Amino acid sequence: MAEDRPQIYLLTPPSFDLDLFPETLARVLSAHDIACIRLGLATKDEDAVMRAADAVRVVAHEYDVALVIENHIHLVERHGLDGVHLTDGARSVRAARKELGQDAIVGAYCGASRHDGMNAGEAGADYVCFGPIGETGLGTGTRAERDLFAWWSEMIEVPVVAEGALSEALVADFTPVTDFFAIGEEIWRDADPAAAMARLIAAMEG
């Protein structure tokens, strides 16, 4: 892996078949160097979330990749996960850090708000996500601009993650100003996710 390019932060699909996805995930992890996986499911079915957490954890830890879960702080220790990804900016960071301890990963999604990002970092977040960086009809339509990442990378030590509606052109453009790219649907909708990931990595490397 090129040392000067951003690392990959892999997002699971919002729903997946437990009989099929672990094998697909393993193919991606065997083909590429992944820094962290985020389990973010759309379902509110606790049993489904717990079964998915166990299945993904087995594969992630087989490849020595950290696994964080979106928002479900209480499932982290119960299921042997590595931390939590919070989607409410800085609001829950201190509580998550207090509950999970200093060794757990605590990350925060802060939209396009520099203020929220700084508050999350000051509250103890290990990383801050900004996004979406691409055009999407979802959410408020507010994009996290390149200038935010450039400023953050120069002024703030907390690692920054770029996510949301990535394209090869955006990846190439944001590579100099981000520490991680969060990549999920961009590859899972492809017939060959590992090959789709390879194209995005190639865009990072110019």
Let me know: does 125 contact 93? Beta carbons within 8 Å: yes
Is the model's pLDDT at 4 over the cut of 90? Answer: no
Let me know: does 161 contact 143? Beta carbons within 8 Å: no
Q: Where are the beta strands (DSSP E) in 103-179?
A: 105-109, 127-130, 160-163
- Residue 166 CA to residue 184 CA, distance in Å, equals 9
Token couple for 84: 């939590």
Mean pLDDT of the chain: 95
Mean pLDDT of 159-188: 97
Task: Output the pLDDT for position 3.
Answer: 59
Is the model's pLDDT at 130 over the cut of 80? Answer: yes
Count of other CB atoms within 10 angstroms of residue 192 = 13
Backbone angles phi, psi at 48, to 5 degrees: -65, -40
Backbone angles phi, psi at 106, to 5 degrees: -125, 115
- Residue 87 CA to residue 91 CA, distance in Å, equals 9
Is the model's pLDDT at 42 over the cut of 50? Answer: yes
Question: For the whole model, what pTM was predicted?
Answer: 0.96
In the chain, pLDDT over 90 holds for what percent of residues?
A: 94
Mean pLDDT of 10-35: 97
Token couple for 180: 């991680």
Task: Output the pLDDT for position 1.
Answer: 40
User: In 3D, which of 199, 201, 184, 192 has the Cα closest to residue 56?
Assistant: 184
In the chain, pLDDT over 70 holds for what percent of residues?
A: 97
Confidence grade of residue 141 (pLDDT, cut at 50, 70, 90): confident
Q: Looking at domain 7-204, does it have CATH number 3.10.150.10?
A: no
The residues spanned by each domain of the chain are 7-204
Task: Output the pLDDT for position 136.
Answer: 81
